[in-house]
Amino acid sequence: MTFANGTEVREWLVSSNDDARRLVYAILDHPKIQHYSAAAQVVEDGDGCRFVWTVDFLPDGMAGMQAASMEAGLAAMAKALG
């Protein structure tokens, strides 16, 4: 994955479940990240759907950077999906 600021990380697929429309991935080899595990899932919500993205990471000091990365990712998905 290459972020807008040029940072590159390798995301490892942990599991993928088409029926649940869910995938889980991890970052294992980033020098600043002690732990990173995430799940992304599309769930039904009335007549539409909702995207649920959950991330666990350490160290806590990266929270600001993580929040900015997720906001940028969500904006890119919204733009691509209309």
| Number of DSSP helices (H) and strands (E) in the chain, helices first | 1, 4
Q: How many CB atoms lie within 10 A of CB 79?
A: 8
Q: Dump strand ranges (E) for 1-82.
A: 11-17, 22-27, 35-45, 48-58
Domain 11-81 CATH class label: alpha beta
Interval 48-58: pLDDT, tens: 999 999 999 99
Is the pLDDT reported for residue 65 higher than 90? no
Comparing 53 with 31, which gets the higher pLDDT? 53
Residue 58: predicted pLDDT: 96
Residue 7: predicted pLDDT: 80
Is the pLDDT reported for residue 77 higher than 80? yes
State the chain's mean pLDDT as an integer: 92
